Chain A
Amino acid sequence: LAPWIPVVGLEIHAQISSNSKLFSGSQVQFAAPPNSLVSFFDASLPGTLPVLNRRCVEAAVMTGLALNCSINKKSLFDRKHYFYADLPAGYQITQQRVPIAVNGSLSYTLCIDNKMSQMVTKTVRIKQIQLEQDSGKSLHDDSRCQTLVDLNRAGVGLMEVVMEPDMCCGEEAAAAVRELQLILQTLGSSQAVMAEGQLRVDANVSVHHPGEPYGVRTEVKNINSIRFLAKAVDYEIRRQIEELENGGTILNETRAFDSKLGCTVPMRDKEGKQDYRFMPEPNLPPLILYDAKSLPANMNHQQVINIDWIHERLPDLPSVKREKLVEQYGILPEHSFTLLNEDGLAEFFESVVKQTQMKPKKVIGWILNDLLSYLKQHSLTVKESPVSSFLLADLLNLLEKKEISSTVAKRVLAELWKGEGKTPLEIVKEQKLELLQDQKELEQICQAVIDGQENEVIMMVLG
């Protein structure tokens, strides 16, 4: 049987982290009373016009720069027409002709065979990033045969990041999205929390034999977590291979991932091939961005976005932070990978290192093995840890000064998890766990043991 090459591309929608919406001044907030964060423009009432939010443009430029894109100094807005109850205007304002950023790349890390020690770096090309409006939310009430519409989300700014089909399996797709999520969170351009709909991923999947053209692709939607993304992609690859090996064909369709059944199903309500009748958005002129060279002399600063100014102020990206941790603290690359993978863990580690004499190479073991495994067991985030960096550093200092043994340190840590407010020293004293340093005291104890076990001692001496 000829081998199959799976091909996976991704379309990711990231909600921009801003106070107000992309083209109106209504608030952006998760979970508010229905239709309370909606302006007349968002409801598409006649006589309203879009006004572009500066912060949204800056977020898209930051993201484009972080993903090594070329920023288009002139980009355009278009209307994409389709009918749906949560799209009151009957069209979405997007950037179809000339988006704000193009031709970038994203590097991500994979562990071979699930071994942390064997990490490999892969790259996926970023086709483009475009600014567009989010739609409202539809709540389907099947019992009453109706849909309830909440427009709070309508008009919120989105960055659509299009990743070329350079990936070949669920694991790669998941790792790429995870890295994008970390980058967006580091930049602050999006909080990228999938559970709150701030990061939505659609996967495009196809399979073909080596040397042959790409197969028909399907689009998979309704993926609600990174874990499900990997499952959905892998399922769809298997489904397509099975279908083709049984002599069937793949339809160019949209499928939804059913997380309960772990499979993809055709989506209803998709009326064949959509014709979006793209047209330029007549109410918005081109978006012009500047850099140090092209900066106009007489313009109001508030009306000017300088790409170079934004570039200079980009924070360290996760890949750079990881390298710095390895260099500064002498820890292994897989350690720094884990540190950045848990929200707040890198900061916790650095805080402990600052407050203890113990070498970072030793501290990392306590962070990754003891602290992290405890947090995972109890489903806690680093922020929710009952043991603060101060307490842990305190404990590690006792160990470093040889006042307690390593076994005792683990016992004390177990006590500290109870969060009863006791310091490590208090626990040690209470349970008399100190290592004895006094020579005389030690001799007395040894003598007492020997005295109490005369017969055994005689046996030992005789050989």
Chain B
Amino acid sequence: QKVSVEVLDHLEHLALVDFRDSEGVERLQKAIQFADQLHEVNTDGVEPMDSVLEDRWCLYLREDDVTEGNCTKELLENAREKVEEYFVAPPGNIPLPKLEERDTFLQGS
């Protein structure tokens, strides 16, 4: 079962991954095949597991105290561009180019 071009395009939009070439797509299809093995197990009536620690893992509750923050300078050191103390981003999401305009494997497929 092959993954369709539409699905590949959709995945690239959602996750901003680049399958780049046929090898990348092969790898994806093998990964899906591997995961599909899960369907061989009958899970009727079985609750999905959230964690291998099951009941032993208690969610820790923190007291409502202010203990962090106030590190503007440090955080902005990571910014490529800043204006006063704001991070700078493009005006909106830059959409992935349409399939036809892309310079990757999917374009030729």
Contacts and interface: CB of A to CB of B under 8 A. Distances in A.
Contacts of B91: 140-142, 145-147
Nearest to B69: A26
B35 interface: no
Please classify how large the interface on chain B is, using the bins under 10, 10 to 19, 20 to 34, 35 or more: 35 or more
B51 A285 contact: yes
B87 A54 contact: no
A33 B83 CA distance: 13
Nearest to B64: A55
B13 to A, nearest CB: 8
Nearest to B70: A36
A286 B93 contact: no
Given A25-B66, A39-B68, A57-B61, 14 more contacts: A33-B85, A34-B85, A36-B69, A45-B78, A51-B62, A55-B63, A83-B16, A138-B89, A147-B89, A149-B89, A275-B10, A275-B14, A285-B51, A285-B58
Contacts of A251: none
Contacts of A18: 64
A43 B61 contact: no
Interface string B40-67: 0000000000110100011111111111
Interface of A: 18-20, 24-27, 33-40, 43, 45, 51-57, 76, 81, 83-85, 138-142, 145-151, 268-269, 271, 275, 277, 280, 282, 284-288, 302-303, 305
Interface string B66-104: 111111100110100001111111111101000000000
Contact of A36 (B51, B62, B72): B72
Contacts of A305: 61
Given A147-B89, A285-B58, A286-B50, A34 B63 contact: no
A280 B52 CA distance: 13
Contacts of A268: 92
B88 A37 contact: no
Given A26-B68, A147-B91, A35 B86 contact: yes
A126 to B, nearest CB: 24
Contact of A20 (B10, B61, B66): B66
B59 A285 contact: yes
Contact of B58 (A35, A149, A303): A303
Contacts of B70: 36-37
Nearest to A43: B75
B50 A148 contact: no
Contact of A81 (B14, B61, B68, B86): B14
18 contacts: A20-B67, A25-B62, A25-B69, A27-B69, A36-B85, A37-B70, A38-B69, A38-B72, A38-B75, A40-B75, A52-B60, A140-B91, A146-B91, A147-B89, A148-B83, A271-B95, A282-B51, A285-B51
A54 B62 contact: yes
A26 B65 CA distance: 8
Contacts of B60: 51-52, 303
A149 B86 contact: yes
Contacts of A147: 88-92
Contacts of B93: 83-84, 269, 271
B50 A76 contact: yes
A139 B67 CA distance: 27
B69 to A, nearest CB: 3
Contacts of A36: 69-70, 72, 85
Nearest to A281: B50
A284 B58 CA distance: 9
Contacts of B71: 38-40
A268 to B, nearest CB: 8
Contacts of B58: 285, 288, 303
Contacts of A142: 91
B42 to A, nearest CB: 22
Contact of B86 (A45, A139, A287): A139
Q: Which 10 A-B pairs have the closest CB atoms?
A: A25-B67, A26-B69, A85-B89, A55-B64, A148-B86, A39-B68, A54-B61, A149-B87, A285-B57, A25-B68
Given A38-B75, A76-B50, A275-B14, A53 B88 contact: no
